[in-house]
Structure 1
């Protein structure tokens, strides 16, 4: 196998486990580990199992399975490849399980929001006025039919949300929305699309004329790093949790003129929860 095949076929989770490294916090797609190059009290290494990559929010370094071994063993690429030879690639790697399950789907219908359950769901999140920015997606997975509110990312993948599920159909990616009236060269950054819809539903937002970046996961930040350097001001609306706080700190340290607005909803997990909890309209 060549290097690219090794990076794809050998699970980064299994490589980390071989060094007795395990996640401190995780969900179905990502996990946070303590940094592999220093001691720390809060985990800053974000591992994306679907992409089979890791990103250190403390240093800005990105890792694949080869560079992970290089860092942990302090060795050359050739020695890292020798170490990786012991890993079995004849079976599907753990990191691909999410992607493979998502390949087993078919989009049945895409249309404007019509289903009563989805309309009520958007109303419960107080973003029904922004329904034109999302779609009603009907899809089939493992022989069963489902539907949900869909939001497209830059790679054509669809973030699906309803009252009971939170998944991505297709490739995970960021969503960058350009605004021709963005004279201030400003960008607002959100973790999820419901926070983006929430922001647009706030009073006086229509006059802000910013570009909008929806990460769709903090693990996708590496795809936006270079693009953010183009802006004169960055306004953050990230979640008030571990991954959101770590990323916010990273962005504040790395870029100039950054405004962290999470303090506005500091007693809530995110902007949408604040809207639902405190705003009555």
Structure 2
């Protein structure tokens, strides 16, 4: 796909592993007749700041499915995190010359191309600068999610970079009960030097405790620029989430078939 956006080349990498405690084989789960990875790849290629996109996997079944569906893929070793897989991909000769790399989660079939572009544009501006990574976030509106340990919260520095990430509610409402909370999204952009720093540094004590990849950079004193976007949509973590995603597609399809005067906004 040819893009018209003028700028430095950015590669979207979609890390994919077959094993999952909650949903084995999730990247190949069928969504509207196609593997979920196919939908993620299509969203990446709609983004104007993305030059190319590739699936990075250690599983032959996923690689075979990518070949079947015309999705570029590359084999990697097994890794503890998706970003470690992106870092290995970036060291391959065919991928070394990109100015930036965006880790796009393989379980978000509705990830917004506009959100990818927001991260990609900020990443292009930071190449050669002092920022190691760019991470998307959005406002957190649901009270239940503030205390949900599966939702990563964050606080910001005055310059818009990340101050802290935690699965606990931050900031703690010590003097106020009316606080605005922010949610980290699984859309990470890295400069080559930032990605190298991540891959060559062992997880620190806070990252090990929280299980949040971006803390590896913060613990090393590296800056992570935060970019506010709209929520990227339904993340598929379980078979029940897949059912929700299929229902969303079907509702959207019905929506588009309605006369323009009766169109409902389900997004």
Q: Does the pair score TM above 0.5?
A: no
With a CA cutoff of 8 Å and minimum separation of 6, indicate the structure with the bigger relative contact order: 2
TM-score (norm: length of structure 2): 0.27
Greater Rg by CA:
1
